[in-house]
């Protein structure tokens, strides 16, 4: 079953951000029970892209999917990253419907887009797939999620959601909260109200809702809003060890 179908039929799916170029981390996350990872080229360490094929191999080995978050200035590279084995693309700071069109153009095969077709890639299983199998549509096409993280994204949400090819919205509460806090107009809703509005408009368009979560409490909150994909903070890998170290070294420990 494809990830797109699982998101609709068996939510919630669990994921994590990957910011270090370590295939073992991806494989370990899969064996820990997660369903997917997002390789973060926006905030990840240098060298992450160079090891993307190895990271997607690790995901395959653990039976999970790997998406890629593009830097905002690298939208036209989406097709090449899908060739390396990524199952989908995440677009950060999505503010305009034109951005969706640019990403679809770069990542979809004709007639929807202009992505070049080559089976001599990891996605094409190094020539073992026929071109028509690689260019499948429907549930098998790459997933495309956009992050609403700014006031412009909120203002233009209806136009963004109307664009063909967009599968859903990934809520980015940290950046969105910072944008709301910096707004001096005094007319904006609080963060929780805006998140609820985004969730409602996304559901009204029958699109998927995903959310970046700092921990269990936040994940539960986004489940209530209807999120079918919960992407946990990369920092949770280290938080457990930090809490353990503090507990052991404390006088009470």
43 in catalytic set: yes
CATH of the domain at 162: 3.20.20.60
Q: What is the per-residue pLDDT for 135?
A: 72
Give pLDDT tens digits along the chain (253 positions). 788 889 989 899 999 999 999 999 999 999 999 999 999 999 999 889 999 999 999 999 999 999 999 987 788 899 999 999 999 999 999 999 999 999 999 999 888 888 888 888 887 778 787 877 777 666 678 999 999 999 999 999 999 999 999 999 999 899 999 988 887 666 667 899 999 999 999 999 999 999 999 999 999 999 999 999 999 998 888 888 898 899 999 887 5
The 10s digit of each residue's pLDDT in 11-45 is 999 999 999 999 999 999 999 999 999 999 999 99
How far is it between the farthest Cα atoms of the chain?
66
Domain range spanning residue 24? Answer: 3-249
Give first-to-last CA distance, the chain, whole Å: 47
Checking DSSP bridges between strand 168-171 and strand 229-232, what pairing results, if any? Answer: unpaired
Total tally of structural domains belonging to the chain = 1
Which member of 43, 96, 140, 159 is catalytic? 43
DSSP-assigned letter for residue 113: -
The 10s digit of each residue's pLDDT in 48-81 is 999 999 999 999 999 999 999 998 778 889 999 9
- List, as own/partner pairs, every contact residues 198-205 make where C-beta atoms lie below 8 angstroms and the sequence separation is at least 24, other chains included: 198/148, 198/154, 198/157, 198/169, 198/171, 199/171, 199/225, 199/226, 199/227, 201/157, 201/158, 201/161, 202/161, 202/168, 202/169, 202/226, 205/161, 205/162
Cβ burial 123-159 (10 Å sphere, 16+ → b, else e): bbeeeeeeeeebbeeeeebbbbbbbbbbbebbebbee
Return d(Cα 93, Cα 160) in angstroms, integer: 12
pTM assigned to the model: 0.92
């Amino acid at each position: 079953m494809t990830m797109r179908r699982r998101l609709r039929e068996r939510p919630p799916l669990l994921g994590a951000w990957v910011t270090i170029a370590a295939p073992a981390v991806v494989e370990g996350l899969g064996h820990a029970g997660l369903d997917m990872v997002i390789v973060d080229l926006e905030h990840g360490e240098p060298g992450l892209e160079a090891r993307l094929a190895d990271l997607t191999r690790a995901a395959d080995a653990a039976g999970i999917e790997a998406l890629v978050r593009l830097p905002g200035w690298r939208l036209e590279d989406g097709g090449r990253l899908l060739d390396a084995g990524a199952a989908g693309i995440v677009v950060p700071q999505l503010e305009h419907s034109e951005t969706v069109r640019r990403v679809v153009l770069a990542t979809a095969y004709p007639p929807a887009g202009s992505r070049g077709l080559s089976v001599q890639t990891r996605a094409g299983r190094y020539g073992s797939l026929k071109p028509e199998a690689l260019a499948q549509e429907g549930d098998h096409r790459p997933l495309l999620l956009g992050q609403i993280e700014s006031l412009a994204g909120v203002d233009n949400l209806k136009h963004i959601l109307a664009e063909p090819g967009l599968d859903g919205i990934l809520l980015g509460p940290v950046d969105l909260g910072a944008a709301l806090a910096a707004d001096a107009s005094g007319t904006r809703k609080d963060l929780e109200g805006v998140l609820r509005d985004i969730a409602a408009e996304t559901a009204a368009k029958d699109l998927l809702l995903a959310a970046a979560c700092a921990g269990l409490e936040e994940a539960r909150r986004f489940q209530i809003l209807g999120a079918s994909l919960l992407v946990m903070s990369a920092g949770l890998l280290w938080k457990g060890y930090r809490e353990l170290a503090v507990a052991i070294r404390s006088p009470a420990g």
